Amino acid sequence: MKASNRNGQRRFLSLLGTAVAAGMAATVGLASPAMASPAETVGAGSDLSGWETVVGGGTFAAAGQASVTSADVAAENRRSYTSLRSNVGHRGVMADALAYKRMTGATMMNVVHRAGYSFQLPSVPSTAGGSRNAQTVEGGLFVWDGAKSKVDNGTAFQWVLNPWVSNFGQLRVWSSANGGSWVPAGYLKPDTAWHTVTFQVNPVAQKVELTVDGGVLPATYTKMPKASWGTDVSARLQVEAISLWPGSAATSAPEHEVWIKDWNWTQEVVLTEAEKAAAEKAAADKAAAEKAVADKAAADKAAADKAAAEKAVADKAAADKAAAEKAAAEQAAADKAAADKAAAEKAAAEKAAAEQAAADKVAKAQGKADAAADKAEKAQDKADAAADKAAKAQDKADAATAKADAAAAKAAEKAAK
């Protein structure tokens, strides 16, 4: 089925009015800003769990067809990605499935928002027709200032996917011009590959940056007044799948499906000049206090180190003195012991010498005595020999006398006869 393009049929829906806004939940509170405010991750996911899905503003119903309702759109979270579908009943309508994540808080206009996700077509739109075809894939990041300006601030892109139009595959960016319109910004060949879009919105500086697959698109900071919207201050990250325009008399039309995964959103606080000055003063005061603490700690440590060093020196001196005194006492004791030993050895030597002299004297006297005894013994031996000789002579004399007496007696006897 060939469809025609209707210029001005639809303007980009930044989001719904107060009635829908009442059903939007997530509120994010930011911590007190620091001077060097790091980016804080306020949301992330592999699929769009926790997002809302509603009917967007890019709708059309052919003659005889009921208006587009929530029954014509669907979002199926499949953990690793979400399938966002429009015109799920294949009616003669152009349906707009809008999925969004909304964060509310008074600081939303004072932070830099950075967000993005990956998207993929499960099939390439074609003039050959079929059960799947597409009009556009769109996405954006906006900050609504309902408290003051009643202006919606941000940026968005559109990927033209109607295969019957001459700008099939064109990338366009949202502009505030002419009450809001799409402006050509590049080309992305329709395919079934994963693509990545990133948004950056800085309401303080009123600057945006929009990239697709890393290529920067010439997006401008858009400001769209919305008098009928609520008084909240909120930021929205969103993605849309708009089904193929069916024609004015269509009774059926194909379904459109896009897959989304790996979304993330960070916020970085932007300080006002007064806040910067206060933060700088606080940082300076903190630095001065930390320096004072550090200086005191250093001084205390230096004093402690000095006291410890002085104590160590004193302890060493006392230890050295004690060691010297001990060594002196030990040396004196050793010297006395040596002197005592020498004196004892000398006395022992002298005693031994005296004893040896006495022994030598006794030995000499004994030698003399022994010699005298030997001499006396020899004299005795001579006397004994002389006595023996005398005894023998006496015995001879006695024998001679006896013989003489015997002879005399015999002679006398003889004579007597």
pLDDT score for 11: 34
* Distance from C-alpha of 212 to C-alpha of 138, rounded to nearest angstrom: 12
Task: Report the topology of domain 18-270.
Answer: Jelly Rolls (2.60.120)
Helix (H, G, I), strand (E, B) or coil at 53: strand
Q: How far apart are CA 73 and CA 98, in angstroms?
A: 8
**Residue 372 predicted with pLDDT over 90:** no
- pTM beyond 0.75, yes or no: no
**Average pLDDT, rounded, for the chain:** 87
Q: Which residue has the higher pLDDT, 57 or 396?
A: 57
Question: 25-29, 126-130, 201-205, 413-417: which has the minimum mean pLDDT?
Answer: 25-29
Residue 283 has a pLDDT of 82
Contact between residue 134 and residue 294 where contact means Cβ atoms under 8 Å apart: no
Instruction: Summarize pLDDT for 314-356 with one digit per residue, the tens.
Output: 889 888 898 888 988 889 888 888 888 888 888 888 888 888 8
Cβ neighbours for 389, distance < 8 A, ≥ 6 positions apart: none
Task: Tell me the CB-side half-sphere exposure of residue 296, using CA atoms within 13 A.
Answer: 5
276-287 pLDDT, tens digit each:
788 788 889 999
Q: Residues near 122 by Cβ (< 8 Å), separated by ≥ 6? A: 83, 132, 192, 257, 258, 259
> Cβ(100)–Cβ(51) under 8 Å?
yes
Interval 66-88: pLDDT, tens: 999 999 999 999 999 999 999 99
